[in-house]
Amino acid sequence: NEVKVFCPATIANLSCGFDVLGLCLDNVGDEMIVRKTAEKGIRITKIEGANLPLETEKNVAGVALLAMLEEVDADFGFEIEIYKHIKAGSGIGSSAASSAGAVFAANELLGNPFTRKELVKFAMQGEKLASGNAHADNVAPALLGGFTLVRSSNPLDIIKIDSPDELFATVIHPQIELKTSDARSVLKQTVSLKSAITQWGNVGGLIAGLYTQDYDLIGRSLHDEIVEPLRSVLIPGFDLIKQSALENGALGSGISGSGPSIFALSRGKATADKIAKGMSEVYDTMNLPYEIHVCKVN
């Protein structure tokens, strides 16, 4: 009558795949306990680690679960306890972790009426509450693991791609909060044909590289000339961190989700650790507080 879940952090966009690509981190995330209650409805009884609303309609986990309960007849209610470790506005999918965790756990308690892919559309409602936009590029990898491609969000068409065996991510989070809605407001609504061609060449290359475990191709494809130039100015030391990651052997580096976290992908843990050391030194020199994670993509 109780399910405890790990709600993983995620990296969305992955440079070339704005709003469509994401990956799941294996050791950074929140915890959530969801219990059956005799009384119907959803109650969020505890949130530790963050100052977030307990009201169901104002909480991303509550809203995601409400969307799910519209499609299934539960003869019991739910009580949710959330233990946040992912900071809001960090760029590694804090709201997605809560939204995905709630629907995943409730689905278990209901006897799994929905597939993981079907849960994505409910979790997206949490994202809509958090950022004003129901993007699926964090909730999809949080629910499915590995890499995910949102080929279409309406109708929803999500493809899960297994991660190459030796792929690691290094993520550094300068301790400032950047709201996704603010990071979206700096974007332009149109792109030039030239940039679009470059971008879809890279998206195709990245997907091909993942399927064939071609690390060099993955690296060649991790570029973004549409979103990164507009958002990177919001992130302290972005160019220096990226440069350091590339010098230390990263396949590629860019903004994690809507920032301010910066990610690098690499082949093998030793390289990922070396990148982490280099990135840390950059922020140490700038006297900027940060958190850093090295994770396997899983």
Known catalytic residues are 127, 180
Report the C-alpha gap between 66 and 56 in whole angstroms: 8
Residue 177 Cβ, how far from ligand HSE at the closest point, in Å? Answer: 13
Nearest to 53 by CA among 4, 90, 88: 88
**How many residues bind ligand HSE, per CB under 6 A?**
12
Binding of residue 180 to ligand HSE (CB under 6 A): yes
By CB under 6 A, which span of 59-67, 77-85, 132-140, 145-153 interacts with ligand HSE? Answer: 132-140
Nearer to ligand HSE, 187 or 196 (CB): 187
- H-helix or E-strand containing 197? helix 193-212
Please choose, out of 11-19, 67-75, 117-125, 150-158, the segment that lies near ligand HSE by the rule CB under 6 A. 11-19
CB 22 within 8 A of CB 11: yes
Least spacing, CB of residue 13 vs ligand HSE, in Å: 5
Nearer to ligand HSE, 250 or 255 (CB): 255
Q: Which residue, 13 or 170, is less far from ligand HSE as judged by CB? A: 13
Contact range with ligand HSE by CB under 6 A, out of 78-86, 145-153, 177-185, 200-208: 177-185
Decide: 180 and 12 in contact? Cβ < 8 Å. no
Query: What residues numbered 224-263 form the site for ligand HSE, per CB under 6 A?
Result: 257-258
Query: Do the Cβ atoms of 12 and 93 come closer than 8 Å?
Result: yes
| DSSP bridge partners of 49 | none
The strand ranges marked E within 219-282 are: 252-255, 262-267
The 15-44 contact track toward ligand HSE, x by CB under 6 A, reads ---xx-------------------------
Neighbours of 271 (CB within 10 A): 21
Residue 34 or 172: the one with the smaller Cβ distance to ligand HSE is: 172
Q: Which of 84, 135, 173, 242 binds ligand HSE (CB under 6 A)?
A: 135
Q: How far is the CB of 96 from ligand HSE (least distance, A)?
A: 7
Sequence letter at residue 34: V
Question: Token digits for 106?
Answer: 């409730």
Please, which residue, 35 or 135, has the CB nearer to ligand HSE?
135
| Angstrom distance (rounded) from CA 104 to CA 113 | 11
Q: Which is nearer to ligand HSE, 8 or 257 (CB)?
A: 257
Q: Is 13 in the site for ligand HSE (CB under 6 A)?
A: yes
| 184 part of the interface to ligand HSE, by CB under 6 A | yes
The pair of three-digit structure tokens given for residue 233, joined into one six-digit string: 């100015």
Query: What DSSP line would sit under 14-83, residue for residue?
Result: TTT-TTTEEEEEEEEEEEEEEEEESS-SEEEEEEESS----SGGGSHHHHHHHHHHTSS--SSEEEEEEE
Residue type, 287: N
Cβ(100)–Cβ(142) under 8 Å? Answer: yes
Q: Which residues bind ligand HSE (CB under 6 A)?
A: 12-13, 18-19, 135, 137-138, 180, 183-184, 257-258
